[in-house]
Chains A and B, each alone.
Chain A
Amino acid sequence: MSPLKIKKGASSHSAYNLRSGFSDIIERHTLAVIVENEPGVLARVIGLFAGRGYNIESLTVAEVDHEGHRSRITIVTTGTPQVIEQIKAQLGRIVPVHEVHDLTVEGPSVERELALFKVAGKGDARIEAVRLADIFRANVVDSTLESFVFEVTGTSEKIDAFAELMRPLGLVEVVRTGVAALSRGQA
Chain B
Amino acid sequence: MSKPMTGAKMVVQALIDQGVDVVFGYPGGAVLPIYDEIFQQNHIQHILVRHEQAAVHAAEGYARSTGKPGVALVTSGPGATNAVTGLTDALMDSIPIIVLTGQVPTFMIGSDAFQEADTVGITRPCTKHNWLVKETDDLARVLHEAFHVATSGRPGPVLIDIPKDVQFATGKYTEKKARKSYYQPQVKGDITSITELAAAMEKAKRPIFYTGGGVINSGAAASQLLRELVAATNFPITSTLMGLGAYPASGDNWLGMLGMHGLYEANMAMHGCDLMINIGARFDDRITGTLDKFSPNSKKAHIDIDVSSINKVVHVDIPIVGDVAHVLEDLLKVWKSGGRKTNAEGVSKWWDQINLWRKVDCLKFEQTGKVIKPQYALQRLEALTKGHDRYITTEVGQHQMWAAQYLGFEDPNRWMTSGGLGTMGYGFPASVGVQMAHRDALVINVAGEASWLMNMQEMGTVTQYKLPVKQFILNNERLGMVRQWQQLLHGERYSSSWSESLPDFVKLAEAFGAKGIRCDDPADLDDAIMEMINHDGPVVFDCLVEKHENCYPMIPSGKPHNEMLMGDASTEGAITGSGQALV
**A66 contacts chain B at the CB level, 8 A cutoff:** no
Write out the residue numbers on chain A whose beta carbons fall within 8 Å of the beta carbon of B289.
Answer: 16
B149 CB contacts on chain A under 8 angstroms:
95
B-contacting residues of A (Cβ < 8 Å)? 4-7, 10, 14-18, 20-22, 36, 39-40, 43-44, 47, 51, 82, 85-86, 89-90, 92-93, 95-96, 98
Shortest CB-to-CB span from B481 to chain A, Å, is 15
Residues of B within 8 Å of A18, CB to CB, are: 291, 312-313
Question: Which listed residue, B124, B288, B292, touches A47 by the CB 8 Å rule?
Answer: B124
B107 within 8 A of A: no
Across the interface, do A6 and B292 meet the contact criterion of CB distance under 8 Å? no
Q: Given contacts A15-B557, A21-B315, A39-B132, is CB(A92)–CB(B285) below 8 Å? A: no
Say yes or no: B182 contacts A20, CB within 8 Å.
Answer: no
- The closest CB in chain A to the CB of B292 belongs to A20
A93-B154, A93-B306, A95-B129 known; A21-B578 Cβ under 8 A: no
Residue interface bits B72-84, CB-to-A below 8 A is 1, else 0: 0000000000000
User: Which residues, 106 to 121 on B, are CB-close (under 8 Å) to A?
Assistant: 120-121
Q: Give every chain B residue within 8 A of A17 (Cβ-Cβ).
A: 290-292
Taking CB atoms, residues of chain B closer than 8 Å to A89 are 306-308, 310, 312
> Once the chains are docked, how many angstroms separate the CA of A14 from the CA of B92?
14
Q: In the bound complex, do residue A15 and residue B124 qualify as a contact, i.e. CB atoms below 8 Å apart?
A: no
- In the complex, which of the residues A10, A16, A43, A90 contacts B124, with contact meaning CB atoms closer than 8 Å? A43
Given A6-B578, A20-B291, A43-B124, 15 new contacts (CB under 8 A)? A4-B581, A14-B313, A15-B285, A16-B313, A18-B313, A21-B291, A40-B124, A43-B121, A51-B125, A82-B315, A89-B306, A89-B307, A90-B308, A95-B183, A98-B182
A93 interface neighbour in B132, B308, B313, B577, Cβ under 8 Å: B308
Nearest B residue to A13 by beta-carbon distance? Answer: B285
Residues of B within 8 A of A47 (CB): 124-125
A36 to B145, CA, bound (A): 14
A163 → B minimal CB distance (Å)? 35
Bound-state CA distance A177–B121 (Å) is 26
Q: Complex formed: what's the CA distance from A85 to B583 in Å?
A: 26
With A16-B289, A89-B308: A5-B129 Cβ-Cβ less than 8 Å: no
Taking the closest CB of chain A, its distance from the CB of B540, in whole angstroms, is 34
- Are the C-beta atoms of B307 and A92 separated by less than 8 Å? yes
Q: Do B580 and A4 touch (CB < 8 A)? A: yes
Whether B582 is near chain A, meaning CB under 8 Å from some CB there, is yes
Q: Tell me the bound Cα distance from A101 to B540 in angstroms.
A: 56
Could you list 26 A-B pairs, sorted by A, with CB under 8 Å?
A5-B577, A5-B580, A7-B578, A14-B285, A15-B582, A16-B290, A16-B291, A16-B313, A16-B582, A17-B291, A18-B291, A18-B313, A20-B291, A21-B292, A40-B120, A40-B130, A43-B121, A47-B124, A86-B308, A86-B311, A89-B310, A93-B154, A93-B308, A95-B129, A95-B149, A96-B129
Checking B308, B310, B581 against A5 with a beta-carbon cut-off of 8 angstroms, the contacting residue is B581
Residues of B within 8 A of A21 (CB): 291-292, 314-315
Indicate if B128 sits at the interface (CB-CB under 8 A): yes
**Min CB–CB distance A4 → chain B (angstroms):** 4
By Cβ-Cβ distance, the 5 closest A-B pairs, closest first, are: A89-B308, A15-B582, A20-B292, A4-B581, A95-B129
Q: Chain A residues near B182 (CB, 8 Å)?
A: 36, 98
CA distance A160 to B557 in the complex (A): 47
CB–CB B315/A22 < 8 A: yes
Contacts of A85 in B (CB 8 A): 311
B292 contact set on A, CB distance < 8 A: 17, 20-21
Closest B residue, CB atoms, query A5: B578
| A26–chain B nearest beta-carbon distance, Å | 18
Given the contacts A5-B581, A47-B125, A93-B306, A16 and B311 also touching, CB distance less than 8 Å:
no
Q: How far is the CA of A45 from the CA of B129 in the complex (A)?
A: 12
B residues less than 8 Å from A92 (CB atoms): 307-308
- Residues 542-583 (chain B) with a chain A CB within 8 angstroms: 557-558, 577-578, 580-583
Nearest CB of B to A86, in Å: 6
B141 to chain A, nearest CB (A): 12
Q: How far is the CA of A181 from the CA of B73 in the complex (A)?
A: 44
* Chain B residues whose CB sits within 8 angstroms of the CB of A14 once the complex forms: 285, 313
CB distance from B205 to the nearest CB of A (A): 23
Nearest chain-B residue to A2 (Cβ)? Answer: B581
- CB-CB under 8 A from A51, the residues of chain B are 125
Which of A16, A44, A89 has most chain B Cβ within 10 Å? A16
Q: Which residues of A contact B153 (CB under 8 A)?
A: 93
The CA of A82 and the CA of B442, in the complex, are separated in Å by 46
Residues of B within 8 A of A20 (CB): 291-292
Q: In the complex, A17→B129 CA distance in Å?
A: 29
Interchain CA distance A86-B312 in the complex, whole Å: 6
Measured between alpha carbons, how far is A40 from B124 in the docked complex, in Å?
Answer: 9
Known: A17-B292, A40-B124, A51-B125. A82 touches B311 (CB 8 A): yes
User: Are the CB atoms of A16 and B128 closer together than 8 Å?
Assistant: no
Closest CB of chain B to A36's CB: distance in Å?
7
Instruction: Kindly identify, within residues 477 to 493 of chain B, every residue whose CB is under 8 Å from any CB belonging to chain A.
Output: none
Complex interface bits, B174-188 against A, C-beta within 8 A gives 1, otherwise 0: 000000001100000
**In the complex, which residue of chain B has the Cβ closest to the Cβ of A81?**
B311
B307 touches A93 (CB 8 A): yes
CA distance A16 to B577 in the complex (A): 13
Complex interface: chain B residues within 8 A of A4 (CB): 578, 580-581
How long is the Cα–Cα vector from A14 to B290 in the complex, in angstroms? 11
| Complex-state Cα separation, A5 to B290, whole angstroms | 15
B261 → chain A closest CB, angstroms = 14
Least CB distance from B517 to A in Å reads 38
CB B344 to nearest CB in A, in angstroms, measures 32
Please provide the chain B residues from 260 to 303 with a CB less than 8 Å away from any CB of chain A in the complex: 285, 288-292
Q: How far is the CA of A124 from the CA of B390 in the complex (A)?
A: 89
Q: A14, A15, A18, A44: which has the most chain B beta carbons within 10 Å?
A: A15
Chain A nearest CB, measured from B37 CB (Å): 26
- Name the residue on B nearest A3 (C-beta): B581
Q: Which of B311, B314, B557 is packed against the most chain A CB atoms within 10 Å?
A: B311
Q: Which residues of A contact B557 (CB under 8 A)?
A: 15
Chain A neighbourhood of B130, CB < 8 A: 40
Bound-state CA distance A86–B129 (Å) is 19
In the bound complex, CA of A6 to CA of B579 (Å): 8
